[in-house]
Amino acid sequence: MKKIVFNFVWVCLCFINIATVYVKAQNIDIYYDFVQFAYSQDSTLLEINYSFLDTNLTYKDVNNNNVQSKVAFKATFTHLQTGVSENYTWENINTKVKGDSLNMYSLFGVEKIILPTGNYKVNIVAYDENNLSNKNYSDLTENIYSFEKDQYTLSHILLANVIEQVNQKTRNWAEMFKKGNYYVIPNPADEYSSRDPNLRFYFEIYHPTIFNARDENKNEYSLVVSILDGANRELLKTPLKLLLDSNDLSKILDVPLDLFPTGVYYLRVSLVRYNEESKYKVIDETFKKFYYYNQFIKPQLMSNFTEDQLFEMSEFNTMDLRTVDKEFKKASVIAKPIEVEQWDKITTLQGKQRYLYRFWKVRDTDTSTIVNERKIEYDDLVNYANTYFVYGNKKDGWNTERGRILLKYGYPTQRDRYTSNGDERAYEDWFYGEIQGGVHFQFVDISGYGNYILVNSTATGEIADPNWYDEYVKNQKQYDPNGSNNSSPFNPIK
């Protein structure tokens, strides 16, 4: 049997975590961002901006040179006051050449819906049309409000990855991204980094002249763009002259972030009116939360913030119920029994968000920084497992036996892989030199499809079967996950 030896090295895979609505779903991970614009006297234009990686999609041949993926969306909006429901459906189709099949792409889209004002319960289902078991579910609420028609008002802020003039575009952007003379490619993840430290955004200004009213003092109005930190402290303030005589109501702005440290921030756009003493009054304001990663400037010290402020700045504050439940399932590998018991008693989203924040706070290895180094290390392990331990239709590599051991004990000192040979199954032997004086874990590919099951370990508290090689590798004994041969408490995590 051929032996393959691996010495583990740290692998860092970057995944975006902060979003207006981020849905960690069964297979397809999708970022959603809802942005509202004025439409008519009694209706509002809602833009559903979304993005996702194509790594989990199934591509099928469309001709000799190209392959294609299709993701279907169905959004159900239920008006909470009237109980009336409306369904909206659309597709995201991506075509690429076969030779490009190994590259990873971020896919973007915008769906525009006109809705009456009111509070809505929103359910969005997305599924891979080439693999119907690959789905995503999102449940949330959205307040659709009307924009004041008798005064100056601002739309929501649309954060962007790319903004290009129509006559200077570098790619063949879809018309769905066109806004006036620009193509605005959304950033539903609401995250920026020092690789491109420019906060790009789009918004609209509505004034009474649109609705057949007049204002003789247009020139008294200005915009003030501010950046606030997670504790709502103003870090940057820039006044901008506003020319309301123009028929162009859209505004494209760009704020450099290169001097800001890593952290959560708020973008605030204020519409103000000056008086004769050059003092101004805020007429309307709109906010947007975003995350900035700066590899060159360390985060500020935690001592500058209260626990409530730190929680507000954390990723946990933005998670929905489905996301926090899945995040704790991942964390349960290293959780104490009392922590699992306490989690099961929490029934509210806010309570779960807070508990998850504190769960990781007590494990932080460097409390002098805002970022949680232990959580970052753990996420790296999850990302590694999701990359290398998937099999068949199972995309959550962390929720496998190898994934569980990786999350619990970290990277092994040495990993030996043995390929199948004749009647003998493939298996792996992981060795940890610094745990309990040195321990081994043996995994066997029982099914032959890459699902390696832990069948023996010398570690305390793990399954022990000294005859594992003869039983599972040579004699190909069948594995019973409910039988006495399975003492692993997480196999897989339910």
Residue 474, amino acid: K
Give kind and range of the element (H or E) at residue 126. Answer: strand 118-128
- In 3D space, the residue among 418, 419, 415 whose CA is nearest the CA of residue 440 turns out to be 415
Flag whether pLDDT at 192 surpasses 60: yes
d(CA 457, CA 463): 6
Alpha helices in 235-316 (DSSP H): 307-313
**Tell me, what's the pLDDT at 382?**
92
Give me 283's structure tokens: 């007429």
Phi, psi of 330 (to 5 degrees): -65, -45
Residues 204 and 85 in one domain: no
At which of 93, 118, 146 does a domain end?
146
- For residue 317, what pLDDT band results from cuts at 50, 70 and 90? confident
Do residues 347 and 464 share a domain?
yes
My answer on whether 325 and 458 are in the same domain is: yes
Is the sign of the CA dihedral 50, 55, 56, 61 positive or negative? positive
Q: Domain check: are 255 and 394 in the same one? A: no
Token pair for 125:
């289902």
For the chain, percent of residues with pLDDT exceeding 90: 54
Residue ranges of alpha helices (H) inside 180-336 are 307-313, 321-331
Write down the pLDDT at residue 6: 39
Instruction: Kindly report, residue by residue over 87-110, the tens digit of the pLDDT.
Output: 999 999 999 998 876 677 899 999
Could you give the angle at which helices 373-388 and 401-409 cross, rounded to 10 degrees? Answer: 160
pLDDT for the residue 449: 86
391-404 per-position pLDDT tens digit: 877 778 999 999 99
Specify burial of residue 277 (Cβ count, 10 A radius: 0-12, 13-18, 19+). Answer: exposed
- Give residue for tokens 């995590």: 493
**What average pLDDT does the structure give for the chain?**
84
**For the chain, what is the largest distance between any 2 Cα atoms, rounded to a whole number of angstroms?**
92
Would you say 223 and 203 are in contact if contact means Cβ atoms under 8 Å apart? no
Same domain, 250 and 115: no
- Rounded-to-10 torsion of CA 5, 406, 292, 156: 120
- Within this chain, do residues 34 and 115 fall inside the same structural domain, yes or no? yes
- In a domain, residue 480? The reply is no
Residues 6+ apart with CB under 8 A from 487: 462, 463, 464
Q: 161 — phi, psi (to 5°)? A: -80, -40
Does residue 447 contact residue 31 with C-beta atoms inside 8 Å? no
Residue 486 domain-assigned (yes or no): no
Q: Is the pLDDT of residue 249 over 90?
A: no
Q: What is the pLDDT of residues 432-445, one digit of tens each?
A: 998 999 999 999 99
| pLDDT for residue 462 is more than 90 | yes
The least confident of 115-119, 453-457, 479-483 is 479-483
| Among candidate residues 302, 295, 291, the one with its CA nearest the CA of residue 371 | 302
- Pair 391, 456 in one domain: yes
Q: Is the pLDDT of residue 232 over 80?
A: no
Domain count, the chain: 3
**Which residues 6+ apart lie within 8 Å of 286 measured at CB?**
154, 155, 156, 157, 203, 268, 269
Instruction: Say which residue, 58 or 311, is predicted with more confidence.
Output: 58
Rounded Cα gap, residues 484 and 438, in angstroms: 26
- Taking Cα atoms as reference points, which of 277, 271, 159 lies closest to residue 226? 271
Global pTM reads 0.61
**Who has greater pLDDT, 62 or 274?**
62
In the block, residue with structure tokens 């990723």: 315
Structure tokens that stand for 347 in this block? 């029934």
Residue 218 lies in a domain: yes
Residue corresponding to tokens 């525009």 = 112
Same domain, 467 and 427: yes
Identity (one letter) of the amino acid at 420?
S
* Pair 25, 55 in one domain: yes
Give which of 110, 92, 91 is closest to 46, Cα–Cα: 110
Rounded CA-CA distance 448/386 in Å is 19
Res. 313: pLDDT tops 90: no
CA distance 284 to 428: 62
Examine residue 481 and state whether it is found in any structural domain, yes or no. no
Q: Does 375 share its domain with 432?
A: yes
Residue 171 is part of which domain span? 147-297
Do 443 and 350 share a domain, yes or no? yes
Summarised one tens digit per residue, pLDDT across range 207-225 is 765 434 445 555 578 899 9
The domain boundary residue, chosen from 248, 267, 297: 297
| Alpha carbons 405 and 389: distance in angstroms, whole number | 12
Calpha distance 223→269 (Å, rounded): 7
Domain assignment present for residue 340? The answer is: yes
CATH (domain of 286): 2.60.40.2550
Instruction: Point out the least confidently predicted range of 194-208, 252-266, 386-400.
Output: 386-400
Q: pLDDT at residue 200 above 70?
A: yes
Residues 6+ apart with CB under 8 A from 194: 257, 258, 293, 294, 295, 296, 297
pLDDT of residue 159: 97
The reported pLDDT for the residue numbered 279 is 72
Which residues lie below 8 Å from residue 417, measured CB to CB, with a gap of 6+?
3, 4, 5, 6, 426, 428
Last residue of a domain, one of 254, 279, 297: 297
